[in-house]
Amino acid sequence: MVEKEKQPYGTVLIKAAGILDFLSSKKEPQALNIIAQETGLTSSTALKILDTLLLIGYVKKHAETKKFELGSGLIKYAHQYLSNLDISKIAYPYLKEMQLHLDETVHLGILEGDEILTVNKLESQKSIVCTNSKIGLTKQLYCTAMGKAVLAELPENEVIDYLNRVELQAITENTITNPNELLMQLKEIKRNGYAIDDNEAETEVYCLGVSLYLNEYTYGAFSVSVPSYRITPEVKEDIVQKLLKTKDSILRELQQKYVFI
């Protein structure tokens, strides 16, 4: 007799997570029928789950359009999670010092599956056209400075596995979509010690990033974002030097903290 496969307890939570994942991937509020269609649920089931999520503040509903988007109820958990990350605490003073010197926007990210998750952002006082970044946002590895810096440090077999899993889709006209071209760039990043995102993840935004890789473990990555019109050879060189110096300082402290790893 074939034993019936056990269903996980609380399957409604899995369905709710699917709805939250879908809403988090969209910038605009979504209609009930679209949510149901994209999550593989009936409209009645989706509505029941959404009504519960509304009660606890995980989603909100626009009275005029009847459309749904993420609510603020999840923020307290996200902030607690992000604030407890060791790398965020360790890196902050060094990133702040670098940001004060450069007065450009600095991001800190960690590897989350096949994406880079932004866990801290230090804003520039200058004008910047980087509109698509915020704490808690994930972005693809292959088209971001932080992501490519992380990929460049991984063993070759892990990079090949990543390329087999992930389709390199064009985010902008500058996004690298050829795996061989990306592999060549990763080798160059490994040699130089830093990665460049030249209008690849967002138009008119130039980023330089480095990874925090120590003892065969990726602790995260950080980057400096600059409007493309402000980049000159002198500005780029200053940023690169500050990135590498800051990276060395953070890795030194990580080495002391995790001396037995």
Domain check: are 68 and 160 in the same one? no
User: Which amino acid, one-letter code, is at 102?
Assistant: L
The structural domain count of the chain equals 2
The verdict on residue 16 lying in a domain is yes
Domain check: are 223 and 96 in the same one? yes
Domain holding 253: CATH number?
3.30.450.40
The verdict on residue 6 lying in a domain is no
Is the pLDDT at 83 greater than 60? The verdict is no
pLDDT value at residue 2:
46
Mapped onto helix, strand or coil, the DSSP state of residue 142 is coil
Domain check: are 57 and 108 in the same one? no
Q: Higher confidence at residue 125 or residue 237?
A: 237
Domain extent, residue 57, equals 11-73
Q: Encode burial over 131-154: b for 16+ CB neighbours within 10 A, e otherwise.
A: eebebeebbbbbbbbbbbbbbbbb
CB-CB contact of 69 with 52 (8 Å): no
Domain check: are 200 and 94 in the same one? yes
Domain holding 38: CATH number?
1.10.10.10
Domain check: are 171 and 195 in the same one? yes
The verdict on residue 4 lying in a domain is no
Domain limit, last residue, from 73, 91, 107? 73
User: What are the pLDDT digits (tens) for 120-173?
Assistant: 999 887 765 555 778 888 899 999 999 999 999 999 999 999 999 999 999 999
pLDDT value at residue 129:
53
Domain check: are 124 and 69 in the same one? no
Confidence class for position 66, pLDDT limits 50, 70, 90 = very high
Is the pLDDT at 193 greater than 90? The verdict is yes
The verdict on residue 208 lying in a domain is yes
The verdict on residue 2 lying in a domain is no
Domain check: are 119 and 65 in the same one? no
Lookup: tokens for 115: 């994406």
Domain limit, last residue, from 51, 73, 95? 73
Mean pLDDT over the full length of the chain: 88
The verdict on residue 211 lying in a domain is yes
The pLDDT of 209-223, averaged and rounded, is 92
Domain check: are 213 and 128 in the same one? yes
CA distances from 149 to 43, 50, 209, 256, 258 (A): 43, 39, 6, 23, 22
Domain check: are 166 and 243 in the same one? yes
* Residue 116, H or E segment: strand 115-122
Domain check: are 30 and 146 in the same one? no
Domain limit, last residue, from 22, 52, 73? 73
The verdict on residue 159 lying in a domain is yes
The verdict on residue 110 lying in a domain is yes
The pLDDT of 249-254, averaged and rounded, is 91
CB-CB contact of 217 with 246 (8 Å): no
Domain check: are 91 and 135 in the same one? yes
Domain check: are 82 and 107 in the same one? yes
